[in-house]
Amino acid sequence: MDNEKVKVLIIGSGPAGYTAAVYAARAGLKPVLYQGGQPGGQLTLTNDVENYPGYPEGINGPQMMVDFQKQAERFGTDIRYGMVTSVDFSGWPHKVTIDEKTTVEAEAVIISTGASAKWLGLESEQRLNGMGVSACAVCDGFFYRGQDVAVVGGGDTAAEEATYLSKLAKKVYMLVRRDELRASKIMQQRVLKAPNIEVLWNTEAVEVLGKDQVEGLKVVNNKTNEERDLEIQGFFVAIGHKPNTDIFKGLLDMDEVGYIKTIPGTSKTKIPGVFATGDAQDKVYRQAVTAAGSGCMGALDAERFLAEKEMEVEAATA
């Protein structure tokens, strides 16, 4: 197995990873960034990004990630294809194995592995992803101002998305598999009070209709087996997100879903020299701009950690 030593290793390549790379590279830390299984992260599935500051006309998601990558490379980030297959945080430097064949010894590790939306698994849902199918109302709701949309899910996320969309869309159908909402009482009240939200109980999505964009939704009542078509222009899947953190299980503190816990106000995990940024640790905001901000925090925290380590070594040898 090949061995390599680096100062800063960044795992993941969304807004958090690339921003961490820009800051770390400009600080002279020569970061190495592995892009992971989805280079560019969730934004590569987003056609139009209109809420990121600095793009008055909006920007295409994949193009935005190309811009982030170029900026990171401009300052000397070594960007590589590859998946992290195992990690060892038991000693220092930290050991990270890439594609089961290269071990990287890193003095600081910045985790920016992001999260993935949970999908229903419909072929039509994947085919029309980014063309009317979305997993983020805050990101994409604006495009459906005055139109009819559907939200699938019965928890807090779905209730929040439906409520948010009700302020923009003409009509919001909320598809709930059971005959009750799992959402907290206050979120339930908001949904049931909104005049333009219609909750369809015991209802599941069968197929998203449309060739090049969403034109409707075929649904079925799981009690009566009755099918009907809803005329909608936007379909929002709100059944949760899963952070891409399985590889760190048992090594870092996480919540019950798998979001990495950091010391509040920092990107620091419980292991010195290991930092978590972006959607791998943020289940609340989950926006490109907040991910980028936390990537900056990760790089600054790593820089301070390395400076302190250097001082310790100097003091020990003095």
Domains of the chain, by residue range, sit at 2-116+241-317, 119-237
pLDDT of 262 reads 98
Stretch 114-135: mean pLDDT? 94
pLDDT at 318 over 80: no
Distance (Å) of CA 6 to CA 69, 147, 252, 282, 300 = 20, 51, 21, 27, 17
Q: What is the mean pLDDT of the chain?
A: 95
Task: Work out the burial of residue 298: count CB atoms within 10 Å of its CB; fewer than 13 is exposed, 13-18 middle, 19 or more buried.
Answer: buried
Stretch 20-37: mean pLDDT? 96
**Which candidate, 49, 16, 48, 52, places its Cα nearest to that of 35?**
16
Stretch 212-238: mean pLDDT? 97
309 Cβ neighbours under 8 A, 6+ residues apart: 107, 273
**119-237 maps to which CATH number?**
3.50.50.60
Longest C-alpha distance within the chain, in Å?
A: 80
pLDDT band at 139 (very low <50, low <70, confident <90, very high): confident
pLDDT at 316 over 90: no
Would you name the residues annotated as active-site residues? 136, 139-140
pLDDT of 253 reads 98
Q: pLDDT tens, 271-303?
A: 999 999 999 999 988 899 999 999 999 999 999
pLDDT at 41 over 90: no
pLDDT of 33 reads 98
pLDDT at 218 over 90: yes
> Class of 2-116+241-317 per CATH?
alpha beta
pLDDT at 65 over 80: yes
pLDDT band at 174 (very low <50, low <70, confident <90, very high): very high
pLDDT of 206 reads 97
pLDDT of 163 reads 96
Residues forming a β-bridge with 133: 129, 235
The fraction of the chain above a pLDDT of 70, given in percent, is: 100
pLDDT at 47 over 80: no
CA dihedral 275, 279, 284, 290 (to 10 degrees): 80
- Report the C-alpha gap between 72 and 92 in whole angstroms: 26
pLDDT at 247 over 90: yes
Stretch 112-118: mean pLDDT? 93
pLDDT band at 40 (very low <50, low <70, confident <90, very high): confident
The fraction of the chain above a pLDDT of 90, given in percent, is: 86
Tokens encoding 12: 């993941």
Give yes or no for a contact between 41 and 65, defined as CB atoms under 8 angstroms apart: yes
Stretch 14-41: mean pLDDT? 95
Cis amide bond preceding 31, omega within 30 = no
Q: Indicate the SS3 state at residue 308.
A: helix
pLDDT of 226 reads 97
